[in-house]
Every structure is written in structure tokens, then in C-alpha cells.
Structure 1
Amino acid sequence: MKKRIPSARKASGHTQRGQCAKRISILDAAAEVFCREGFSGASIDEIAMEACVSRQTIYNHYREKETLFMAVVQDVMDRANAALFSVLATFPNNADDLENELAAFAAALVRNCSCNHDGKFLRRMVQTEGERYPHLFEAWRKQGPGRVDAALAALLARLSSQANLAMDDFDLAARQFLALINADLQMIVLFGETPTDEQLQIATCKAVQTFLRAYVKPSEKTGATSEKQLRAG
């Protein structure tokens, strides 16, 4: 997993910097081992060896394996959410060239949030451990998918009046949008592969076309059809 430098590492004092470095090393090593072995298969000894620290050091920081696992999920989720909200900031603000702008947004959402290292890690852990240890993912339930749906629903509500979209339930529309953009990529992602740019473009363009056909107001559809007919004539 790629190393990162959190703000805590800027704190003064050799001891404090050393403790922060150890925590980062432990979290990174634990993420790799949990991803490879699963929660039940991972051992503190293996994580300690990979992090180049002692077994006791891990217990000093995290007390037990379950606490360490939840810390890893939180750490990965924090980065995943940062990437997510960076992409959400590119959501279209107006109806100009809406189809192409929504398709570009959808492609960025999949590429930078679902198919990056952190997205793959979270998906793998939920798929393999979620049923056996649901309590380990309680924070992920609230801060992951829940925040995505709510944020996207708010953006669709803002866009709806400007783009003349007929939406009664923005939360439902948000879930449908996310389901559509992932529909044709599920099998690729399920096996840990990364879709090509071409696959991503085709899937997201089709998804956005389907989404807009469902939500553009009838008058807007009729107007668009009439304009095309006039141009053809």
C-alpha cells in the first residue's frame, strides 16, 4: 500500500514522530495481510513481521486484532472518502452538455473510487468478511455507502431544477445512478480486474443515457426529438 504522510507526522519531538511512523507502518502492513489472508487467517505475528515491529508494539497500539482491523478499515475509508468527495466536486452544475458531463463524472467516480487500491481493498474485505463479522464494518456502513448516496442525492436535487429532471425521490435516483454506472462493470471488478478506458467509457455513457431517459421530463424529450427532426429535415 502506498505510504502517506499525515499531519500528525509534522508534530515536534522525536518520540512522537517515531510513534506516528510505527502506527503508519502497522496499518499499512495490517492492510496487506488482512487483504491477503482475511481477518480470521491473519495473525499478529505475520503483521508484526511485515511492519518490522515487535508483536508487543502492535498490542501496545491496538490491544487486539479486532481493534487493529477496525483501525485499518477506518484508515482506508478516510482516504477513499477523500477521493470520493474530490470527484463529487466535479459534478455538473448546469444542464449544458449534460449527457457528456454526467458520463465524464461517472467515469471518474468509478475510476478513482471503485477501481483504485483503496476501493478494491474495501470491496474485498466486505465480500469476504462482511457476513461473518458484520460489526467490524459498522463504521463503513455509515461513513461509506451512506455518505455517497446522501451526497449524490443532494447534487441531483440541485441539478434537477436546472436540467428539468422529473425526480420525486432524490435518494432513490442516486442509488439508481450508482447501480447503472456499475452494472456493466460488475463482473470485471468482481474478479479484481480494472476496466480499460474504453470499457469504462462505453459503460458509463450507456448508463447515463438510460438514467436521463428515465428522468428527463416528457416535454424536454419531445422538444429534443422535434429539434432533431427539424435538423434532419
Structure 2
Amino acid sequence: MSAAPHSSRPRSTTPRGRIDKQQAVLTAAFTVFARLGYAQARVDEIAAEAKVAKATVYNHFGDKETLFREVVRALSETALTANLAAVEQLVNDSDDLPANLREVGLQLARCYCLEESRALRRLVSAEAPQFPDLLDVMDEVSHRVTQALTDRLARLSLAGRLLIDDPELAAAQFTALLTGSVDTRSRLATRSVPDAELRAITEAAVATFLKAFGK
């Protein structure tokens, strides 16, 4: 009798329960840090929010500072994934490029306006004097999204769909058209922006972008 074939998927060495508790602590910590700020947040409050023992928080993250950094990194990764998924929808062979740009722009604006994204920007900005390196974490997300958008715009230019000499600059300008207006409407991330307003912002951003780079 032949042996059963080995699975090509690597087996996890981390128990499922440990991963679940770690995620629960990260989620709870973000809630508490966003509400109280780093200095006022206490580990016992985070443990209570996560419904775990205080020792569990320390077992997973060691101390409050490490936990805070991991919270910012985890939320930044989540934001990056969502933004990259939006950019991937910009394709060369769309029958309606303006509509495609509007859809991508709207998804990016929605990502930027999520409560978690707004709370993360407020939190990192407030704690920047003590944790300046976390600004680099946020900047890396912006950089990777801009690079992904640069690649998509370069392909559209090569395909003759847009007239762009500097795709990276065009990507930065498209992003600025979206986020600049959103920052104004959201009062620097302190209020939510209704979806109807996001659609209007996106319409205006795409119209301006196509006046500069459309054929």
C-alpha cells in the first residue's frame, strides 16, 4: 500500500487558539489606544476589552510599547491589502476607462475614509513625537500603493489609453486629488464622509485627472 501523499501546504506551528487570542488582543488594543491614547491606555483595560487575562497580553506581546507598535503595523497591513485590491481593478482593456478610474478612485476613497483608517491616522499623528518611526510604517503603505498605481498607469500609457510622461507623478497627483478633498470634508479624519460625498469627490478627481492625462 502506498503512503498517503504529503500536502504541499506547510503545517502551522501556531495553535489556532493562540492566533485567535493574539488577534483579539490586537483588536482590543486598537480600540483602547484610539479611545485613550498611548499614555492613558492600561494593559488591564486592553485585557478586559479582549476578554483575556492580563498575563495573556504580556505573553503575546511582552509590553505595552511592543503591543502599540504591533497594532499600528497590523492595521497598516490591513489598509495596504485593501488599497492594493482597489488598484488592481484598474485594467488596460476596460471598455470605459473613465468609469474604471471612477470605480478605483471610489474604492480608494472609501478605504481612506474607513473608521479604522481615520482612527489610525489620528492615533499615529498624536503619538508621533514618542513613536516617530511609526510614521515610516504609514509612509511605506502610501509608497507601496503609489507604486502599484504607478505600474497600472504606466501600462495604460503604453497601451495608448492615457498620455503620461511620468506615471509616478501622475499616480501621486491622482491620489492627492482624492485624499486632499477627503481630508477637507472629514476635517482631518475627525468625521465620517457620506458615500454620496465620496462619489462626488471621485467624479471631480477623475474629471481633473483626465483633463491632464486623457486622450
Q: What is the TM-score when the length of structure 2 is the normalising length?
A: 0.84
Q: Which runs of 5+ in 2 are unaligned?
A: 1-10
Q: What does residue 35 of structure 2 align with?
A: 36
Q: What does residue 50 of structure 2 align with?
A: 51
Q: What does residue 85 of structure 1 align with?
A: 84
State the percentage of identical aligned residues: 37
Residues 36, 27 of structure 1: alpha-carbon distance in 2 compared, 3 angstrom cutoff? same
CA distance in 2, matches of 1:83, 1:140: 14
Residues 56, 175 of structure 1: alpha-carbon distance in 2 compared, 3 angstrom cutoff? same
Does 2:206 correspond to 1:212?
Answer: no
Q: Following TM superposition, by how much is the alpha carbon of 1:128 offset from its aligned partner in structure 2, in angstroms?
A: 1.6
Q: What does residue 136 of structure 2 align with?
A: 138
1:55-106, CA deviations, whole angstroms, 9 ceiling, x for partnerless residues? 2221221111111011111221222222122211211324643222211210
Q: What does residue 225 of structure 1 align with?
A: none
1:188-225, CA deviations, whole angstroms, 9 ceiling, x for partnerless residues? 32243332232122211111111111123xxx4xxxxx
CA distance in 2, matches of 1:160, 1:88: 16
User: In 1, are the aligned partners of 2:22 and 2:60 still within 8 Å (CA)?
Assistant: yes
The structure with more helix, counted as a fraction of residues: 1
User: In 2, are the aligned partners of 1:80 and 1:119 still within 8 Å (CA)?
Assistant: yes
Q: Following TM superposition, by how much is the alpha carbon of 1:11 offset from its aligned partner in structure 2, in angstroms?
A: 5.6
Residues 94, 12 of structure 1: alpha-carbon distance in 2 compared, 3 angstrom cutoff? closer
Greater length-normalized contact order (CA 8 Å, ≥ 6 residues apart): 2
* Equivalences for residues 1-233 of structure 1 within 5 A: 16-94=15-93, 96-111=95-110, 113-142=111-140, 144-189=141-186, 190-216=188-214, 220=215
Q: Following TM superposition, by how much is the alpha carbon of 1:164 offset from its aligned partner in structure 2, in angstroms?
A: 4.7
User: In 2, are the aligned partners of 1:79 and 1:118 still within 8 Å (CA)?
Assistant: no
Choose 1 or 2 for highest CA Rg.
1
